[in-house]
């Protein structure tokens, strides 16, 4: 952990409890001390970027600025080929501002109702950004991608977001049917976090 001052907490710039659980689980293994931004009463950043990396930087900078601590942010989403990459960076607000996971997932199923199985390919994208402080000019940026396809009905109860309709072809299960360690081993977020850990300890 040479990039963060030893023992100092890192703020996790996310209000998504599902993400926080997954990231905490992975980072616990390497003794990184992270605290979700909710514990510091940090106001939510506006996600005005046009790319995952821009939004992740905006979120991390907002958390670092308000806390005075290093920060990690995750910007992620689902790209569906039949929808030309939508909902993409707008995944969290696909059914409108402040939409629930359930509303977003239902809208996606409705938009794909006439799309045959073979054309329902999709992938999760995750970009993680680590800033040592709000003005850090050299953020660490790591990415992960998870290929799959969109089911026609939800399956499983684990995870969050679009997990119940994301089919992991190699396992013939939805990502909401995976236990947390299996999801972290395969997922876009797990891949990005392992890369970030390598960079943090380099």
Pure H helices in 31-160: 52-67, 101-111
Burial label, 113 (beta-carbon count in 10 A; 0-12, 13-18, 19+): exposed
Judged by beta carbon distances under 5 to 8 A according to partner kind, the member of Mg ion, ligand Y43, none in contact with residue 76 is ligand Y43
The reply to whether 7 sits in an annotated binding site is no
- Candidate residues 76, 149, 174, 191; the one interacting with ligand Y43 per rule CB under 6 A: 76
Q: Which residues face 94 on adjacent strands?
A: none
Q: How long is the chain?
A: 202
CB of 170 to Mg ion, least distance (A): 29
Task: Return the range that interacts with ligand Y43 (CB under 6 A); candidates 75-83, 111-119, 148-156, 191-199.
Answer: 75-83
| The one segment of 11-19, 24-32, 62-70, 130-138 that binds ligand Y43 by CB under 6 A | 11-19
Q: Are 156 and 174 in contact (CB under 8 A)?
A: yes
In Å, how far are 8, 21, 44 from 35, measured between CA atoms? 10, 11, 15
Radius of gyration of the chain (CA): 17
Q: Is 189 annotated as a binding residue?
A: yes
Separation of alpha carbons 116 and 110, rounded Å: 13
Interaction mask 22-61, ligand Y43, x per CB under 6 A: -------------------------x-----------x--
Which residues have C-beta within 8 Å of that of residue 84, sequence separation ≥ 6? none
Q: Which of 104, 149, 184, 191 binds ligand Y43 (CB under 6 A)?
A: 104
For residue 178, count other CB atoms closer than 10 A to its CB. 21
Q: Is 35 annotated as ligand-binding? A: no
- Examine residue 67 and tell whether it contacts ligand Y43 (CB under 6 A): no
Under the criterion CB under 5 A, does residue 92 sit at the interface with Mg ion? yes
Return the number of the residue (157 or 201) whose C-beta is nearest ligand Y43.
157
Contact 96, 147 (CB under 8 A): no
From 159, 167, 168, 196, residue interacting with ligand Y43 (rule: CB under 6 A): 159
Binding site for Mg ion (CB under 5 A): 92
Annotated binding-site ranges for Mg(2+): 46, 75
Residues serving a catalytic function are 75
């Amino acid at each position: 952990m040479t990039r963060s001052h030893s023992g100092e907490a890192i703020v996790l710039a996310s209000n998504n409890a599902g993400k926080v659980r997954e990231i905490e689980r992975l980072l616990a293994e390497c003794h990184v001390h992270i605290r979700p931004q909710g514990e510091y009463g940090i106001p939510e950043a506006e996600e005005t970027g046009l790319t995952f990396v821009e939004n992740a930087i905006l979120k991390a900078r907002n958390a670092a600025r308000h806390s005075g601590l290093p920060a990690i942010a995750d910007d992620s989403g689902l790209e569906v080929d039949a929808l030309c990459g939508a909902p993409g960076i707008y995944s969290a607000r696909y059914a409108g501002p402040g939409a629930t996971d359930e509303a977003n997932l239902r809208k996606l199923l409705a938009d794909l109702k006439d799309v045959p199985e073979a054309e329902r390919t999709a992938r999760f994208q995750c970009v993680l950004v680590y800033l040592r402080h709000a003005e850090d000019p050299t953020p660490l940026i790591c990415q992960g991608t998870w290929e799959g396809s969109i089911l026609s009905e939800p399956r499983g109860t684990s995870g969050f977001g679009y997990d119940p309709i994301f089919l992991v072809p190699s396992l013939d299960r939805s990502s909401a049917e995976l236990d947390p360690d299996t999801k972290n081993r395969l997922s876009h977020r797990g891949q990005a976090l392992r890369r970030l850990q390598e960079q943090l300890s380099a």
